[in-house]
Amino acid sequence: MFDNKALRRLILPLVAEQLLVMLVGVADTMMASYSGEAAISGVALVDMVNAVVIALLTAVATGGAVIVSQYLGSREAQHADLAASQLQTVTFLVSLTLTAVCLSLHKAILGALFGAVDEAVMRSATTYFLITACSFPFLGIYNASAALFRSMRRTSATMCVSLLMNVVHIVGNIIGVFVLHAGVAGVAASTLVSRALAGVVMTGMAFGVKNAVRIRWREIFSWNREMIGRILRIGVPNSIENGLFMLGRVLVTSIVALFGTTQIAANGVAQSVDMFAIVVVSAMNLAVITVVGQCVGAKEYVQAEKYQKKLMLVSYVATTVLTLAVWAMLPGILRLYTLSDNTWKLSFNLIMAHNIMATLLHPTAFNLPNGLRAAGDARFTMVAGIASMLIFRLGTAYLLGIAFQMGIWGVWAAMGMDWLGRSAIFALRFKGGRWREHRAI
């Protein structure tokens, strides 16, 4: 169903898109660093909270993408259109609710998670949180529309809109920080503006009459319980897993917040830079939904298994190459930040530790469960992912970081143990073949 040329057309724009997203993350952290380590710490902490929201929205969009991909594989265009429109409805309602919760409860959320940080860090975090929370509805409709284009294999379209969004974001950062001297507020405002623009543009494109799958106003404003149920049967377990996974990361970050401003800042810098080594894995997480989803929709399970292994092999090779490249360029990258000597050294070591672990474990820990979800095996991935997060990511982080007084190194060791646990569980599930018994449509 997918020759090498088709896979390249699907994957290469996704890699470029993910690279752009990561560049914006680095730009945010870098721009904030010019306002001091309190600012960069505040942005880093809130980015972890925002990541929970983004994970929820992405999970709902993934549920829709699985349904649409399987309908395309079974050549049921009318049902695919209905699923696309209902995905927009669900995603917008979910994102609007999340915005309302974050705006009304921002003091309680930040206080509960990061109450021990310095007052200056909390001020920066509050400002950044309030402004970026207003962007969630735009991010929601962008994710839903982008998921549709990926299901249609039109990833070049999502890449172009992502390029537009990120250029606007970076220019906005420069204006906000260096022209208006707005500090964290300038960085957050550029996030809001860029997401609003991307959401409007991407959704407008999803109405195109020439699309293999298109959304329609009358179906957006309807409520098809059966179709929404299909989307949510994938989206809800995925949302629960991703949301709790990211919440676990936030709770781990709240543990990091106990270790002082240097370790908080180094953690934030490392989390923005270490994403470059896994950019191909992140792209494959999106590609595997389309590839496996369409194969399962066509009941081509042998092809689904073949492509899952092929995409993971590409991820492993690419991550190895990128880890070596980041290692060579890392001193130059970190010189772009305004950091103390201790923060600089700690950031360097954390990034390298992350990339070595990612080279060994990341594709199996994350590409593989996305393939299982694309087949409709979402409940198992939810239970397994949550169990690994609670036992390893959170429990071991507390044990090593606080009880054994290993600090940030204990937290990052726990991350590696979580990836190892996920890899073992999902590899056994894939090899056992139980995922073949599931189908989402």
- Helix (H) or strand (E) run with residue 93 in it: helix 77-104
The C-alpha angle with vertex 62 and arms to 310 and 136, in degrees rounded to 5, equals 135
Query: Which residue range(s) make up the domain with 58?
Result: 4-437
Please enumerate in sequence order all residues whose Cβ is within 8 A of that of 262, keeping only pairs 6 or more positions apart, or say none.
Answer: 37, 340, 342, 343, 346
Listed residue (100, 104, 28, 84) closest to 275, CA to CA? 28
Task: Look up residue 179 and give its amino acid.
Answer: V
Task: Look up residue 417 and give its amino acid.
Answer: M
* Structure letter (DSSP) for residue 36: -
pTM of the prediction?
A: 0.80
**pLDDT on residue 28:** 67
Q: From its phi and psi, is residue 76 left (phi > 0), alpha (psi between -120 and 50) or beta?
A: beta
Please write the tens of the pLDDT for every residue from 423-437: 999 999 999 988 888
Residue in this structure with the two tokens 């990128």, named with its chain if needed: 322
Whether 281 shows a pLDDT value over 70: the answer reads yes
Rounded Cα distance, 359 and 73, in Å: 32
**pLDDT on residue 25:** 67
Whether 51 shows a pLDDT value over 70: the answer reads yes
**pLDDT on residue 24:** 72
**pLDDT on residue 83:** 93
**pLDDT on residue 29:** 66
Most confident of 68-77, 174-183, 250-259, 420-429: 420-429
With cut-offs at 50, 70 and 90, classify the pLDDT of residue 292: very high
Question: How far does CA 433 lie from the centroid of its chain?
Answer: 27
Helices (H), 274-300: 279-297
**pLDDT on residue 271:** 81
Q: How many CB atoms lie within 10 A of CB 329?
A: 12
Rounded Cα distance, 72 and 79, in Å: 9
8 A C-beta contact, residue 161 and residue 148:
no
With cut-offs at 50, 70 and 90, classify the pLDDT of residue 159: very high
* Structure letter (DSSP) for residue 275: G
Rounded Cα distance, 24 and 179, in Å: 19
Exposed, middle or buried: residue 258 (CB in 10 Å: 0-12, 13-18, 19+)?
middle
**pLDDT on residue 134:** 96
Rounded Cα distance, 27 and 128, in Å: 15
8 A C-beta contact, residue 370 and residue 293:
no
Q: Which two tokens stand for residue 96?
A: 């609007």
Question: How far does CA 97 lie from the centroid of its chain?
Answer: 19
Mean pLDDT of the region 352-357 = 93
Please write the tens of the pLDDT for every residue from 17-34: 888 777 776 676 677 777
Rounded Cα distance, 274 and 356, in Å: 10
3-class DSSP state of 377: coil
Listed residue (117, 128, 123) closest to 173, CA to CA? 128
Listed residue (170, 142, 173) closest to 57, CA to CA? 142
Q: What percent of the chain has pLDDT over 70?
A: 99
3-class DSSP state of 221: coil
Average confidence score pLDDT of the chain: 88
Please write the tens of the pLDDT for every residue from 189-234: 998 999 999 999 999 999 998 889 999 999 999 889 899 998 888 8
Please write the tens of the pLDDT for every residue from 360-379: 999 999 999 999 999 989 88
Whether 405 shows a pLDDT value over 80: the answer reads yes
**pLDDT on residue 394:** 87
Q: What percent of the chain has pLDDT over 90?
A: 48
With cut-offs at 50, 70 and 90, classify the pLDDT of residue 173: confident
With cut-offs at 50, 70 and 90, classify the pLDDT of residue 321: very high
Count of structural domains within the chain = 1
**pLDDT on residue 121:** 85
Residue in this structure with the two tokens 């991407």, named with its chain if needed: 202
Mean pLDDT of the region 328-343 = 87
